[in-house]
Amino acid sequence: MSRLSPPLLVTIYVILVFSIEPVLAINVELNTLPDDYLSDTYTELIREAKPGWWGNWSLSKSVELGAIGVVGDDSSFNPSGLHLSNLKMKVSPLSEKLKVSTQHVLGPNVVSTNMAAGPAETSAQVTLKWEFSAKGAMSAQWILVEEQHLSNSADSIIRNMEFLKSVAREMNMLNPLTGEISQGFGVITGVILAKSGVNLASVSDSAEWSISGEGEGLQGMLGNANAFASYASAESSSNIVSVLWPATPNEVTDELVPIAYTFTSIHGETVIPLWVEKINDFELIFKNHSSYIVIATVSYHSSEGRAERQTKISGFLQGSIGDIPLDATSLKLRLEFVGSVPYTTLHNRWNTPLGTWLTGKRHIDVWGLWPDHPSFTIQEEE
């Protein structure tokens, strides 16, 4: 993920409005953020609530089930314009409110309420305000109503491997010498759809953004999945990048927008579900907090047959076992504690690390001071 680089001084005044895309508004006199910052940071926030998902900061309509393309180093999806066909889709209704933010964000807070004629719950005019005290601070709030998944996505990808290779070749994601697909190329296999919400990011160290409208419409936009979402106006007193849905004031729409997605990538011809970063092999990393000498043994099956690897880790030191192939299955871990009384051996098993070890790693913490009984924990599974 990217980090903020030194400010680039640019003076810009632009509001981009697309007929089929949400509004992306950048307000004036701004020090720009790095190109990849918005997508990277938004994905980090999404993963706080939805591990393994990618964020769709701009609400791009190219993010849809079965879409073929590349997830780049900037965490954004670059579509090929092509899709897998004849797919089976599973749709699950949601009724969730997603609210995530970085540090240095306050809000939304009610800053004004004006009563008009009519029922109070529908006619009260409300203004909500967000305050940002650091460049790059980000907030997102969405009403999630639907999750879509491809059924048997790995089988579908394997059946279409030759077609996918031809698309990868056109996108410069196929090794011309080996004919293998490079990681980062693949298929969108899950999408979360929202009925309304907002993405906000500050491009200065002090910024405010507010939205106004009838109380019921704002509640429907940010808090109530069963109410119609609408607003009368959105304003920024300084430098804010904002993405809103509905895209225009006083608009009520039934159209849903994609705010996040899962991606299945391909390594050669190996299908990697829930792909979040490039991994070439699997690795177990041991941190021995105990006084025991630990003999760690890993066994597994792969296309090359059965294999077993071992390492010895002295008390209060670290060790690792790596170079485990991506097609490893039936992976077993055995930990022997030398000198324990009674002699202790602990075990763990993973049927298929692929698609569950999202970063390709498992961090094992070993505990116990002689003569106490030893134990271990797995950081990613706590």
* CATH at 303: 2.60.40.1430
pLDDT in tens, 318-335: 999 999 999 999 999 999
Do 257 and 110 fall within a single domain? yes
Residue 221 lies in a domain: yes
Q: 125 and 72 in contact (C-beta within 8 Å)?
A: no
Mean pLDDT of 97-122: 81
Mean pLDDT of 186-191: 99
Residue 254 lies in a domain: yes
- Flag the least confident range among 20-24, 93-97, 194-198, 365-369: 20-24
Do 222 and 123 fall within a single domain? yes
Which of 223, 240, 272 terminates a domain? The answer is: 272
pLDDT of residue 11: 29
Do 174 and 217 fall within a single domain? yes
Mean pLDDT of 240-267: 96
Residue 233 lies in a domain: yes
Q: Token digits for 264?
A: 């299945």
Do 326 and 232 fall within a single domain? no
Do 28 and 117 fall within a single domain? yes
Residue 1 lies in a domain: no
pLDDT in tens, 271-289: 999 999 999 999 999 999 9
Which of 220, 249, 272 terminates a domain? The answer is: 272
**Which of these, 21, 43, 213, 121, lies nearest to 222 by C-alpha position?**
213
pLDDT in tens, 348-375: 999 999 999 999 999 999 999 999 999 9
pLDDT of residue 112: 81
Do 203 and 293 fall within a single domain? no
Q: Token digits for 310?
A: 């071992």
Number of structural domains in the chain: 2
pLDDT of residue 285: 99
Q: 33 and 40 in contact (C-beta within 8 Å)?
A: no
**Which of these, 88, 70, 238, 252, lies nearest to 155 by C-alpha position?**
88
Dist CA 28 CA 97 (whole Å): 31
Q: Token digits for 253?
A: 């729409």
Do 306 and 326 fall within a single domain? yes
**Confidence check: pLDDT of 30 > 50:** no
pLDDT of residue 326: 97
Do 241 and 315 fall within a single domain? no
Neighbours of 289 (CB within 10 A): 15
Do 154 and 224 fall within a single domain? yes
Do 129 and 60 fall within a single domain? yes
Which of 272, 307, 325 terminates a domain? The answer is: 272
pLDDT of residue 123: 64
Mean pLDDT of 62-87: 96
Output phi, psi for 91, to 5 deg: -115, 125
Domain that holds residue 322: 282-381
Mean pLDDT of 105-129: 78
Residues 6+ apart with CB under 8 A from 131: 105, 106, 107, 207, 208
Dist CA 360 CA 267 (whole Å): 13
Residue 2 lies in a domain: no
Residue 220 lies in a domain: yes
Is there a cis peptide before residue 246, judged by omega within 30 degrees of 0?
A: yes
Dist CA 193 CA 191 (whole Å): 6
Dist CA 126 CA 119 (whole Å): 14
**Confidence check: pLDDT of 15 > 60:** no
- Flag the least confident range among 109-113, 204-208, 370-374: 109-113
Residue 184 lies in a domain: yes
Share of the chain above pLDDT 70, in %: 89
pLDDT in tens, 129-165: 999 999 999 999 999 999 999 999 999 999 999 999 9
**Confidence check: pLDDT of 6 > 50:** no
- Flag the least confident range among 12-16, 260-264, 340-344: 12-16
Do 26 and 136 fall within a single domain? yes
Dist CA 222 CA 246 (whole Å): 11
SS3 per residue for the chain: CCCCCCCEECCCCEEECCCCCCEEEECCCCEECCCCHHHHHHHHHHHHHCCCCEECCCCCCCCCCCEEEEECCCCCEEEEEEECCCCCEEEEEEEEEEEEECCCEEEEEEEEEECCCCCHHHHCEEEEEEEECCCCCEEEEEEEEEEEEECCHHHHHHHCHHHHHHHHHHCCCECCCCCCECCCEEEEEEEEEEEEEEEEEECCCCEEEEEEEEHHHHHHHHCCCCCCCCCCEEEECCCEEEEEECCCCCCCCCCCEEEEEEEEEEEECEEECCCCCCCCCEEEEEEECCCCEEEEEEEEEECCEEEEEEEEECCCCEEEEEEECCCCEEEEEEEEEECCCCCEEEEEEECCCCCCCCCCEEEEEEECCCCCCCEEEEHHHC
Q: 208 and 232 in contact (C-beta within 8 Å)?
A: no
pLDDT of residue 154: 94
**Which of these, 367, 333, 370, 330, lies nearest to 348 by C-alpha position?**
333
pLDDT of residue 22: 58
Residue 277 lies in a domain: no
**Confidence check: pLDDT of 314 > 70:** yes
Do 296 and 255 fall within a single domain? no
Q: 126 and 112 in contact (C-beta within 8 Å)?
A: yes
